[in-house]
Amino acid sequence: MTQHAPITWIDGEPPAGLSGGTTWGMPFQRGTVQDAAALTVLDSSGSTVHAQTWPLATWPDGSLKWAGIALGATDQPAAAYRVTHSTETLDGGAAAAVERSPAVTVIEDDKTITVSTGTLDMVLHRSGDTLFSELRRDGNVVARDGRLVSLLQSGATEGTGTTTRTGFTGHTTGVTVEQAGPVRAVVKVEGAHRADDGSKEWLPFTVRFYFYAGARSVRMMHSFIWDGDAEQDFLAGLGVEFTVPLESELHDRHVRMAGADGGFLVEAVRGLTGLRRDPGEEVRAAQIAGRPTPPLNEWSPLVSERLHLIPGWNDYTLTQLTADGFELRKRTAPGHGWVGISGGTKAAGFCSLSDVRGGFGVGIRDFWQSHPGQLDIRGAATDQAKVTAWLYSPEAQPMDLRFYHDGLGQDTFEDQLEGLEITYEDYEPGFGNPTGIARTHELTLFAYEATPSTENLAADAKTASTPPLLQPSPGYLHAAGVFGDWAPVDRSTPARAELEDKLDFLFDFYQGQTEQRRWYGFWNYGDVMHTYDTDRHVWRYDVGGYAWDNSELSPDLWLWYMYLRTGRADVFRYAEAMTRHTGEVDVYHLGPWRGLGSRHNVQHWGCSAKQLRISTPAYRRFYYYLTADERTGDLLTELVDSDQNFLGLDPVRKVRPDADTYRPDRGALGVGLGTDWGSLAATWLTDWERTGNRRSRDRLLGTMADIGALKYGFLTGEALYDLDAGRFDAGREVISVSHLSAVFGLVEICSELISLVPDKDFEEAWMQYCRLFLATPEEQIAEVGQPLAGIYLTQAHSRLTAYAAARLGSPELAALAWESFAEGGENLNHAEAFTLKKILPPYVLHPVDEAPTVSTNDTAQFGLAVIQNLALVGQHLPAAADAPQEVPAS
């Protein structure tokens, strides 16, 4: 049996409890593990833990590359775990212990699916208007008829005018059991929203429920695709509604709503505290604690005989309409006025409703960050209450997705290129269309056997907002040989420490900017801005292509490599939020641009450049492999046939030199060998690893061979692609180099491919590109007969030279790499760039920090260059990172 490095909790300490179980992804060195079923999980004492394992990806030799691993719920999670693999069976004692462990069971029939964790049960119907019909705890129904609801407003009004709102309910069209235990079960529900009057259907959705052995909670992942008409459809509310049955007297019904910073509203539907007459200390203490109150005959009769005169509070609402504030209120019944309770800043997005026999709780992850959100409790004084978790609050302004300007007369490509020159916006009529973008929310549903203590509810709220996660260490991930050229943090020399400090500064700066600049909101959370405006002391949120970044120059890659080498929880969650956003909002999931992403713009979907360089799996596969997240797997699967897009939309149609003669032809499609092929290669590689799909394998290996056969390899710039054959025409003999070709994942993918697949000609083509990009004009002429044009982003491309240096063992190229790193990227190669300047009112809305020369393009490529150069030629790093010295040959 081979033992692996410990698996630890990403936040450092183990959670107080694991109410819902956990899943993570783990890689293995090539050739070491043949079957995920051979994996065993041990706790820190060496005892076998009941776990479920399954393959996520394989190496080209068929051995296991990534596995998903799940652990069930426990009140006492270990501080660390170890994963072992063996072809031997467990010994009798360990096998018996696993056999006795709680297990998830799934029972299916023609109409329903019933999942039991051993603690709770959920019954789902294969069709109809509910996501599930019952959620039971110890046999008691704590919630029923969970369903999706939405509100469609007919228009937007300013000043006087009228609009109508139509109610919709999610209608299930298909249910699939994706995993059936024994530790983890996953059920996928698909459908769309239907108008209550039957007049319209919209907003296709996918909901996954995650069940773990022994769990008292269920994880719910909700994704929907916007397919409305932005000119006339205004989403006025989107939520999940649950019916909560109640039986106890009103004074034994309990409302809990989480505020900010761990705070809670703790109330009963009919309060017994603060009255003119005292029911008794024991009665008051029981109600505050959520315990059953003593029988009425033990109360003071001055209270027990007047209970009917104490109002029962039927309805509660918490609204979080901005990132800065929430408001709480309640009322006794519809038709009566609301009474304000309190307010605060950043609510956790959790509430519960319970009585003596049990209760129900729901938490929305990233609640205030993804505002406007809302939590409603209705009918708490009746026997069938409603709890609604609003993902888009019906009290907010209706969602307005119309394009933000009238086109400014840019009707021709010539006009649009002029617009690009002034605002950096690539506009084209009809292309600022949101139809097809998506959004994912994560919720946690809790089933209670009684009203929990406030301390336990606070722990549940924390679990819902920050789910516990196990992860391998950076050292283990690096030793497994995944994700190419990177290495764990090494501060062993002053020069290395200086670069590490700069990486930390840049991440901390962006994390701070997210809060200071309020980069939050339903469609915005997870993205960052592109470029700064030093005159106004703001990011250029309103200037064409300088606003939302949409993965431009790969901040996603920078963040994930930053996480791989540091293991920092804050970096992981920042990268996770970006992955959720850029993979959903910045990419089309249906319609004519399905599988394409939108370049940076004032609105995420506003740019007319719809390209694979934004939708590329190169940005999403990190999260998929590290977490085994099925929704991210959906996004990867969507792209498998993304080469079809070149037939419908030419990504360089406005600037193509042969625009007069070129027409998309399925036998001869112009495909760039940089951002285009790099995205396709990432797509095919990921699909081949995940599924073994021969089509993806053959297209990947075939086009690699074709690039190797081109006279000028990657320097050719573009090749003609046969869509049916999946191959390039290798006869093209031109040289065309772009500074953008390698900065959207091509560097990382080529490095991985060369280590994975033996192809001498492809490797030589990539090595030529790496050697020549920053070579002298004389060296370029000597090898290919002409100097290369389009050589920019010197700092970013220093990692190409570093790669060549490492492969060739060349100290001269290593020195050139560090020289190029220091000479290029002028915006970040001075001390001022790493010094914050505080700007105070009245010159800004509120105090902010600025680093005036920092932009996302530079930051992402600086970060990647530092990380990869250190991994490849770190031993040749000059003594001072900003003052390169002559490097002696070694």
- The string of DSSP codes covering 177-231 is EEEE-SSEEEEEEEEEEEETTSS-EEEEEEEEEEEETT-SEEEEEEEEE--S-TT
User: Coil, strand, or helix at residue 384?
Assistant: strand
Judge contact between 360 and 459, C-beta under 8 A.
Answer: no
Q: What is the pTM of this model?
A: 0.96
In this predicted structure, the answer to whether residue 4 has a pLDDT above a threshold of 90 is: no
In this predicted structure, the answer to whether residue 610 has a pLDDT above a threshold of 50 is: yes
Region 762-781: mean pLDDT is: 98
Closest CA to 827 of 800, 796, 801, 852: 852
Closest CA to 363 of 220, 222, 261: 220
pLDDT of residue 713: 98
C-alpha atoms less than 13 angstroms from C-alpha of 109 in its C-beta half-sphere: 4
Helical spans, DSSP H, in 809-855: 811-823
Lowest mean pLDDT among 75-79, 114-118, 157-161: 157-161
pLDDT in tens, 648-705: 999 999 999 998 999 999 999 999 999 999 999 999 999 999 999 999 999 999 999 9
Find the angle CA(708)-CA(714)-CA(719) to the nearest 5 degrees.
85
Q: What is the DSSP string of 732-775?
A: -------TTTTTTTHHHHHHHHHHHS--HHHHHHHHHHHHHTTS
Task: Name the phi and psi angles at 839, rounded to 5.
Answer: -110, 130
Q: What is the DSSP string of 316-360?
A: EEEEEEETTEEEEEEESSTTS--EEEEEES----EEEEEETTEEE
Judge contact between 286 and 294, C-beta under 8 A.
Answer: yes
User: Coil, strand, or helix at residue 510?
Assistant: helix
Judge contact between 645 and 595, C-beta under 8 A.
Answer: yes
pLDDT in tens, 63-85: 999 999 999 999 999 999 999 99
pLDDT of residue 388: 98
Region 622-638: mean pLDDT is: 98
Give the span between the Cα atoms of 217 and 212, in whole angstroms: 8
Region 730-743: mean pLDDT is: 97
Give the span between the Cα atoms of 747 and 792, in whole angstroms: 16
* Sign of the Cα pseudo-torsion (770, 773, 779, 781, in order): positive
Task: Name the phi and psi angles at 307, rounded to 5.
Answer: -55, -35
User: Coil, strand, or helix at residue 821?
Assistant: helix
pLDDT classification of 155: cutoffs 50, 70, 90: confident
The whole-chain average pLDDT of the chain stands at 95
More confident residue, 189 or 92: 189
Closest CA to 673 of 744, 724, 589, 723: 744
In this predicted structure, the answer to whether residue 889 has a pLDDT above a threshold of 80 is: no
For 238-281, what is the HEC assignment? Answer: EEEEEEEECCCCHHHCEEEEECCCCCEEEEECCCCCCCCCCCCH
pLDDT classification of 158: cutoffs 50, 70, 90: confident
pLDDT classification of 98: cutoffs 50, 70, 90: low
Give the span between the Cα atoms of 66 and 512, in whole angstroms: 34
CA distance to 322, 324, 585, per residue, from 529 (Å): 19, 20, 15
pLDDT of residue 100: 59
Count of other CB atoms within 10 angstroms of residue 503? 21
Helical (H) or strand (E) element with 284: helix 281-289
In this predicted structure, the answer to whether residue 885 has a pLDDT above a threshold of 50 is: no
Instruction: Go through the domains of the chain in sequence order and give each one's CATH number.
Output: 2-100 (no CATH), 110-269+313-402+433-465 (2.70.98.30), 271-310 (no CATH), 498-516+794-890 (no CATH), 641-792 (no CATH)
C-alpha atoms less than 13 angstroms from C-alpha of 85 in its C-beta half-sphere: 21
In this predicted structure, the answer to whether residue 215 has a pLDDT above a threshold of 70 is: yes
Closest CA to 677 of 712, 649, 706, 653: 706
Count of residues for the chain? 890
